Amino acid sequence: MDNGTASRRVVIVGSGFGGLFAAKALKRARVEVILVSRTTHHLFQPLLYQVATGILSEGEIAPATREVLRGQHNARVLLGDVIGLDLATRTVTSDLLGETTITPYDYLIVAAGATQDYFGNRHFVDHAPGMKTIEDALELRSCIFGAFELAEAATDPAEIDRLLTFVVIGAGPTGVEMAGQISELARRTLPGVYRNIDPRAAHVVLLDAAPTVLASFGNKLSGKTARHLRKIGVELRLCARVVDVDATGVEVEDLQGRRRIPSLCKIWAAGVAASPLGAQLAAQSGAKVDRAGRVQVQADLTLPGYPRVFVVGDMVSFPGLPGVAQVAIQGGRYAANQIARDCAGLPTGQPFRYHDKGNMATVSRSYAVASIGPLRIAGFGAWLLWLVVHLIYLVGFKNRFTTLVDWAVAFIGRGRSERTVITQHVLSRNAARPRRNTHDDSPTASRQHAPTPKR
């Protein structure tokens, strides 16, 4: 620790909502900020489904983190997969293509988010991509548009049916948004562009083991969403448990027994598991983790016994905190504020208070649902509100402007400009998979992260 005149170092893990907003909130603090992330971008996850369905390009929802923090001179971005957090030596170990970097910290904010959970069925991941990363969205985009192309070239009617059957597993906000958009794509955008198939014949199935869609929005909005989904051609199969997924289809068990749905394109939107870094922190601090691997933090979002180590966002298990962007944003800002207070010699440890700004989900063009305080809105008004809120939270003026143009193309017109399909989008994900979330890569080189020279 320094003598109070030199700046202290805050290491932030993750460039998502929690990490980026924490870094920005430290702009005026007398600290050096190092943000370590495995991606070069900040990802606006709520619009991933629009990349997967050809409305937006990946750059519009994933601006470069370096660019976002360009004017913040106390912040540095370090690309790397964090493979070790050591609370005793106060260091963060990251790996970039085999080169290991060890970064010491005075304060640590861990905001590594969550990954898709396949509930122990590891082989499902090979056939049903999730919706968590840009890689996922691009792979799905290739799979969705590629399925129409394959159907156009096929001659066997059963095979055409299989290719035009899209199965979305999980009827939470992500599943509902994906199912609604694939249905609109088939019925509104693609008719007229194929010669052998009618895209309107596409069959979109939304499955969930629960008896309702959007369960967290309450009965009224859940019922309205289900009715609207059926109206736009989505088949709902509720109380249906997926028991197997393979290359050619999905096996489902419901009250009628076990059935198979032949399908090429399957999308997994069912489960969420916190970053494995949570388990590392828990093992060293004695904190508990819940079934989803989220860390049970103290009221000030710190680890027990480690008042300078904060965990925020999707990695946190705390009563009343859902896994939404606002929890991560407010948690990141709160942690930054606590650090700035500590550096200024002010008292810290005030409990984190989450201000619930409500929940929204789009179902289709011009139809969304919103639950804000006591208000429950469904329809066009909720959709306009959804557009405005998402535009406000998109990072960067250029992104907002181009997103607005693409929305006009897709929602006022029928076009979708991001329809490029390349096999690499599918192949690169498979090539990268063995390295994801593995913490046993043997480093080929190691270096210490030197303190930043003073500006």
278 touching ligand FAD, by CB under 6 A = no
One-letter amino acid of 188: R
- Shorter beta-carbon distance to ligand FAD: residue 164 or 303: 303
Of 191-199, 211-219, 249-257, 325-333, the segment contacting ligand FAD by CB under 6 A is: 325-333
Binds ligand FAD (CB under 6 A): choice among 25, 35, 100, 113? 113
45 touching ligand FAD, by CB under 6 A = yes
Residues numbered 411 to 440 that lie near ligand FAD (CB under 6 A) are none
328 touching ligand FAD, by CB under 6 A = yes
Residues numbered 64 to 93 that lie near ligand FAD (CB under 6 A) are 81-82
Catalytic entry in 32, 135, 139, 177? 177
Of 107-115, 156-164, 208-216, 243-251, the segment contacting ligand FAD by CB under 6 A is: 107-115
17 touching ligand FAD, by CB under 6 A = yes
13 touching ligand FAD, by CB under 6 A = yes
Binds ligand FAD (CB under 6 A): choice among 7, 24, 33, 37? 37
Of 2-10, 34-42, 121-129, 278-286, the segment contacting ligand FAD by CB under 6 A is: 34-42
Three-class SS string for the chain? CCCCCCCEEEEEECCCHHHHHHHHHCCCCCEEEEEEECCCECCCHHHHHHHHCCCCCHHHHCCEHHHHCCCCCCEEEEECEEEEEECCCCEEEEEECCEEEEEECCEEEECCCEEECCCCCCCHHHHCCCCCCHHHHHHHHHHHHHHHHHHHHCCCHHHHHHHCEEEEECCCHHHHHHHHHHHHHHHHHCCCCCCCCCHHHCEEEEECCCCCCCHHHHHHHHHHHHHHHHHCCEEEECCCEEEEEECCEEEEEECCEEEEEECCEEEECCCEEECCHHHHHHHHHCCCECCCCCEECCCCCEECCEEEEEECHHHEECCCCCCCHHHHHHHHHHHHHHHHHHHCCCCCCCCCCCCCCCEEEEEECCEEEEEECCEEEEEHHHHHHHHHHHHHHCCCHHHHHHHHHHHHHHHHCCCCCCCCCCHHHHHHHHHHHHHCCCCCCCCCEEEECCCCCCC
Residues numbered 129 to 168 that lie near ligand FAD (CB under 6 A) are 131-132
- Shorter beta-carbon distance to ligand FAD: residue 7 or 50: 50
313 touching ligand FAD, by CB under 6 A = yes
- Shorter beta-carbon distance to ligand FAD: residue 111 or 363: 111
User: Closest distance between ligand FAD and the C-beta of residue 336, in Å?
Assistant: 13
Residue 98: phi, psi to the nearest 5?
A: 90, -10
- Shorter beta-carbon distance to ligand FAD: residue 18 or 146: 18
Sign, CA dihedral 298-323-375-404, equals positive
User: Closest distance between ligand FAD and the C-beta of residue 64, in Å?
Assistant: 12
48 touching ligand FAD, by CB under 6 A = yes
Binds ligand FAD (CB under 6 A): choice among 62, 112, 240, 311? 112
CA dist 285 and 301 (Å) reads 13
- Shorter beta-carbon distance to ligand FAD: residue 16 or 180: 16
403 touching ligand FAD, by CB under 6 A = no
348 touching ligand FAD, by CB under 6 A = no
Of 44-52, 99-107, 228-236, 402-410, the segment contacting ligand FAD by CB under 6 A is: 44-52
Q: Is 184 a catalytic residue?
A: no
CA dist 46 and 48 (Å) reads 6
Binds ligand FAD (CB under 6 A): choice among 7, 9, 15, 321? 15
The contact set with ligand FAD (CB under 6 A) reads: 13-19, 36-39, 45-46, 48, 81-82, 111-113, 131-132, 173-174, 275, 277, 313-314, 323-326, 328
Residues noted as catalytic: 177
